[in-house]
Amino acid sequence: KAGVTQTPRYLIKTRGQQVTLSCSPISGHRSVSWYQQTPGQGLQFLFEYFSETQRNKGNFPGRFSGRQFSNSRSEMNVSTLELGDSALYLCASTPTGGVGEKLFFGSGTQLSVL
Amino acid sequence: GESVGLHLPTLSVQEGDNSIINCAYSNSASDYFIWYKQESGKGPQFIIDIRSNMDKRQGQRVTVLLNKTVKHLSLQIAATQPGDSAVYFCAENWAGGGNKLTFGTGTQLKVEL
């Protein structure tokens, strides 16, 4: 069974631009979560989607948004990029998103904002 | 200003020794705990989990201990191998928080030959 797939692997953007990251969960998994990882803040929860609905949200500004499609694939978007948005963005999936389900992570998208 | 990264605690062990990685969690209502391993350039990889109604759980070469009284979690790795070198994160979750993990800052494990 294929794991969580994230594309692209690396991205370089400039301040003010916007970016869209993509995540394909493990087949059969319907919950997709996004995390931001930085050296300064560690791993922080962004949001979770289940059945095309955002079910949980972390403490990030509205510039960070996401969506989920009917096939459970998910995208996240960051608008008006800031230098501090440089990070590794990780996607994780679980079958239903219930507490106690193991999150399986992708390898992430490394975003650099110049 | 200059960005200051988290100072990751580092644990150095000799190959073949046992490793113990500690974690203090924050939410007394947390009822599910997980350990992840992250190698350079990769996403976190699940190692072992434990629910709050248990105080010990064993896997292959790994054991997780949970002390709810002091909100402490530990990961024990037996016969540590060079391939165990990575950053280890504990994470917590609670039923009222949905599927949202709160991660610790991580510990860098270095295995010396």
Inter-chain Cβ pairs, chain A and chain B, closer than 8 A: 78
Res A102: pLDDT: 87
DSSP state letters, A40-77: TTEEEEEEEEETTEEEEE-S--TTEEEEE-TTS-EEEE
Q: Do B98 and A48 touch (CB under 8 A)?
A: yes
Give tens-digit pLDDT for B22-35.
Answer: 999 988 889 899 99
Which of B8, B90, B99, B108 to mutate to probe the A interface, most A CBs <10 Å? B99
Q: Which residues of A touch B91 (CB under 8 A)?
A: 43
Query: pLDDT confidence of B84, banded at 50, 70, 90?
Result: very high
Amino acid type, A45:
F
What is the least distance, in Å, from the CA of A89 to any CA of chain B? Answer: 9
- Chain A nearest CA to B75, separation (Å): 17
CB A56 to CB B95 under 8 A?
Answer: no
Can you name the residues that pair with A87 across neighbouring β-strands? A111
Give B100 or A68, the one with higher predicted confidence.
Answer: A68
Nearest to A110 by CA among A91, A83, A86, A92: A86
Lowest mean pLDDT across A69-78, A93-102, B8-17, B48-57: A93-102
Task: Quote the pLDDT of residue B4.
Answer: 44
* Helix, strand, or coil (residue B88): strand
Q: Which residues of B touch A58 (CB under 8 A)?
A: 100
In this predicted structure, the answer to whether residue B74 has a pLDDT above a threshold of 90 is yes
Q: Write down the pLDDT at residue A20.
A: 98
Beta-carbon separation of A43 and B103 below 8 A: yes
pLDDT given at position B1: 37
Tell me which residue in A33, A43, A105 faces B99 most closely, judged by beta carbons. A33
Cross-chain CB nearest to A55 (options B3, B51, B98): B98
- Find, in chain B, the residue whose alpha carbon is nearest to that of A86: B3
pLDDT value of residue A97: 80
Closest alpha carbon within chain B to A6: B43
- Looking at residue B31, its amino acid is D
Is B20 in contact with B72 (CB distance < 8 Å)?
no
Max Cα–Cα distance, chain B, nearest Å: 45
Minimum mean pLDDT range among A99-108, B48-57, B102-111: A99-108
Worst-scoring range by mean pLDDT, A57-71, B24-38, B53-67? Answer: B24-38
